[in-house]
Structure 1
C-alpha cells in the first residue's frame, strides 16, 4: 500500500467486542488503510482481549494494527505499532522497547509540540484536533484548516489529521494534501462501516 495513513480508523472504546470486530472487518473491506485501537478507561486484560480480537480480524489484510498509548499491549499482541499522546511514555523510550521496525505515532496539540516532535524517533504525527469533537473533551487547540496547512509547512514528518472529520468536511482536509486522515464516529457509528469507508475514501481521492 502506497500510503498506510490515507484512511485511518480509530476505534470507539464504548462499542462491545463483537461490534468492534464487525466495524473493523467492514471498514477494512471499505478501504481503511490503518486501524488504531483506542481504550482510555480499561484494564490491561480487557484491552489485551480487544487487541487480540482485532488482530485476528486484520490477519492477512495488510492493514496495520496500532495500539493507542500502551507499549505493553502492543508488545503482548505483536501489533504493528503504537500511537502515543503527550502524557504517555516518552517517544525515545517507546522506540527502544518497540525496536526500529514498528510504527510509532505521536499526537501534537499545538505548534510548540509540533516543532519539538520533529527530532523524535517517530514515524508520523497526529494533528489533534482539527475540529472540536465529542470524542475528545480535553482539546487544547482546534487547528482548523489554516492551522493544518501551516503544520504541513512546518513538519518533515507525515501528518495525520484527526478530530471532527466527516463526509461533509473530508474533502477540505484532503485538499491540504495531508498524508493521513483519521476518523472515529464517521465510520464506527455509521449503519454500514464498509459503505462509509468506501464513500470517505472516494471523497479523499476525488480532490
Structure 2
C-alpha cells in the first residue's frame, strides 16, 4: 500500500450542494483556506454540462493551493475536464484508467478511486489502475441513512488488510471518530455532511485536520499554512 498516492493532508471533502449551508463554491473555498487539499465533486443529479460548469468553477481554486480535484461519476467527463474520477463499487477501473491515462512525462497521473464495502471488493483492486479506495460507511451517517450496516473500525481494518491501495474511510467521520479509524489502518478519511452542513466549514475542517495530525500513526504534527479567503 503506497500512502504517498494520497494528497496531503489525507482529508477528502466530498461535495453535496443539497446539504450545504452555503453556496457550494463558498464551502469549498472555506475548506481549502482551512487546509483541505482534496475535493471530489459528487453532484450526480446534475447533467454533464452543469457538472462541467461546477468543475470549471472549483478547479482554479483547488489548483491555486496545489490541491487535487476529482469527479464522482463519468471517467470520460472527468478526462475532458482534466480531473480525477471516483467510481462506484460496480465501476470499471481499467476503463477509467485507459480514459484518464497513466500519466507519463509532463502529464500528471489523474487519480482513480473506487468505493468498496467489503474485503472481497477491496481485494479485487489493482494498484496499477486504482490509486485509492473509499470504504464505508465506517459509522452511521446522516448523509446516507440506510446505506448499509456500519463497518466500524474492525470492518475498516479488514478492508485495509485486503487492499493493495490506500483506504480512505467515510461515513460518520468526526474529530472524535478519526482516531479509531486511523488506528484501524485507514490512510485517510473522507467527509461530506459534517462540512457541507456546518455553519463554519473552515472551523470544522480545522478540527478534522487537527485530529488527523494528532492521531495519524507515525505522523508528525506540522503547522499548516491557513489561507484567508479573498474578498
TM-score by length of 1: 0.89
Q: Deviation of residue 137 (structure 1)? A: 4.5
Partners of 2:123 and 2:178 in 1: how far apart? 25
Give the drift of 1:76: 2.3
Q: Deviations over 1:77-102 (max 9, x none)?
A: 211x10100233x1101110100021
Q: Which residue of 1 aligns with 2:66?
A: 62
Structure 1 portions without partners, runs of 5+:
none
1:43-62 correspondence to structure 2 within 5 Å: 43-62=47-66
1:184 is aligned to 192
Deviation at 1:43, TM superposition (A): 1.0
| Matched residue SS, 2:165 | coil
**Is residue 149 of structure 1 aligned with residue 157 of structure 2?**
yes
Which SS does the other structure have where 1:105 is aligned? strand
SS in 1 for 2:112: strand
Contact 1:9 1:34 in 2 (8 A): yes
2:199 aligned counterpart, secondary structure = coil
User: Aligned in 2, Cα 1:110/1:139: closer, same or farther, shift over 3 Å?
Assistant: farther
Deviation for aligned residue 1:33: 2.4
Aligned partner of residue 173 in structure 1, secondary structure: helix
Which blocks of at least 5 consecutive residues in structure 2 are unaligned? Answer: 103-108, 216-231
TM-score, scaled to structure 2:
0.81
The alpha-carbon deviation at position 118 of structure 1 amounts to 4.1
Q: CA deviation at 1:154?
A: 2.1
Q: Distance in 2 between matches of 1:73 and 1:21?
A: 20
CA contact 2:17–2:196 (8 Å) conserved in 1: no
User: CA offsets per residue over residues 3-37 of structure 1, 9 Å max, x none?
Assistant: 51611110113168x71111111101111121000
- Distance across 2 between alignment mates of 1:192 and 1:124: 29
Deviates more, 1:171-180 or 1:152-161: 171-180
Measured in 1, the distance between the counterparts of 2:185 and 2:71 equals: 25
| In structure 2, distance between residues paired with 1:131 and 1:15 | 19
Q: Counterpart of 1:10?
A: 14
Cα shift at 1:72: 2.5
The CA distance in 1 between the partners of 2:60 and 2:124, in whole Å, is: 36
CA distance in 1, matches of 2:135, 2:47: 27
Cα 1:38/1:7, change in 2 over 3 Å: same
The superposition leaves residues 180-205 of structure 1 with CA deviations (integer Å, 9 ceiling, x where unpaired) of: 10001111111211111111111111
Cross-structure match for 1:115: 123
Is the aligned partner of 1:87 residue 2:90? yes
Residue 138 of structure 1 and its aligned partner are, at CA, apart by 5.9
Match of 1:127 in 2: 135
Given that residues 21 and 57 in structure 1 are in contact (C-alpha distance below 8 angstroms), is that contact kept between their aligned partners in structure 2? no
CA distance in 1, matches of 2:143, 2:153: 19
Distance in 2 of aligned mates of 1:73 and 1:13? 19
Superposition deviation, residue 46 in structure 1: 1.3
CA distance in structure 2 between the partners assigned to 1:120 and 1:135 by the alignment: 31
